[in-house]
Amino acid sequence: MLVSATEMLNKAKAGKYAVGQFNINNLEWTKAILQTAQENNSPVILGVSEGAGKYMGGYNVVMGMVKGMIKDQGITVPVAVHLDHGSMDGCLKCIDAGFTSVMFDGSHFDIDENVKLTTEIIEIAHGKGISVEAEVGSIGGEEDGVIGAGEIADPNECKKINDLGVDFLAAGIGNIHGAYPENWAGLSLDALDDIQKLTGATPLVLHGGTGIPDDMVKTAITLGVSKINVNTDLQWSFAAATREYIEAGKDKVGKGFDPRKIIAPGFEAIKVTVKEKMELFGSVGQA
């Protein structure tokens, strides 16, 4: 069931759990995530970066694939298709293609420009029933060419963006994309608490969900985080399973060279990882 992310995240905030955004890269990623969501009766958000959208052939291709898969696979749990770290142009193209949710990442602009552009996206998206995520304080690391210094967001700036009417808000609290370094100081939970106090009932978003200790994730959920983004973990799982298949020489046995057979172990590994995250986030059985 294709929906915007608004209702599922408001429900998650009220219920003290989080919905996972799992980024997709191709058909196998999409199928694995959707099947796992259905098997675990969990709402789910399919994240699409601008780079991944381009790789898959365009945003219309992405929506055609997701709609067809929901229909033919009998997916009945709530599913949102969400642009991740979108530019103004990317947001407009995804809105036109039928995405049910978009993120406008204005964190690299000054706050006044961020407010101006976020306001424009909200007006356009809400007119079509599409949910909007905004960001204050850039997320550290690099994801698909989007580079952030890794900042602790100003709670007052978070309030300013929140008051525009965003549906959910991403705020930098020391989180980064990709692998966390050994000397990482951890999430600034005090900053998260301050942000929640000023943004009220708005669901908060935790980017860079790979590598954050489980206890820290659970604490963040109690402090208003209702959406957690996972990408690198799935890539690692897929790569490890695929590497094992090739290094074991299974591609040289019988029809083992069939690309469907080569990809199968990675597909199953994605499902295992997605289930683990859904259990951690508390979304199992919440559809």
**Does residue 89 carry a catalytic annotation?**
no
* Residues making up the chain, counted from first to last: 287
Set 84, 144, 167, 194: catalytic member: 84
- Kindly report the number of other CB atoms within 10 A of residue 55's CB atom: 15
DSSP string covering the chain, please?
A: -B--SHHHHHHHHHHT--EEEEE--SHHHHHHHHHHHHHTT--EEEEEEHHHHHHTT-HHHHHHHHHHHHHHTT--S-EEEEEEEE-HHHHHHHHHHT-SEEEE--TTS-HHHHHHHHHHHHHHHHTTT-EEEEEESPPBEEETTEEE---BPPHHHHHHHHTTT-SEEEE-BS-BSSPPPTT-----HHHHHHHHHHHTTPPEEE---TT--HHHHHHHHHTTEEEEEE-HHHHHHHHHHHHHHHHTTGGGSTTTTSHHHHHHHHHHHHHHHHHHHHHHHT-TT--
Per-residue tokens: 259: 């690309």
Is the alpha carbon torsion for 55, 56, 57, 59 positive or negative? Answer: negative
Q: CA 72 → CA 13, 66, 69, 230, 266, distances in Å? A: 31, 10, 5, 25, 22
Pairing assessment for the beta strands 44-49 and 79-86 based on DSSP bridges: parallel
Give the C-alpha separation, 284 to 41, whole Å: 6
Report, as residue numbers or ranges, the catalytic residues: 84
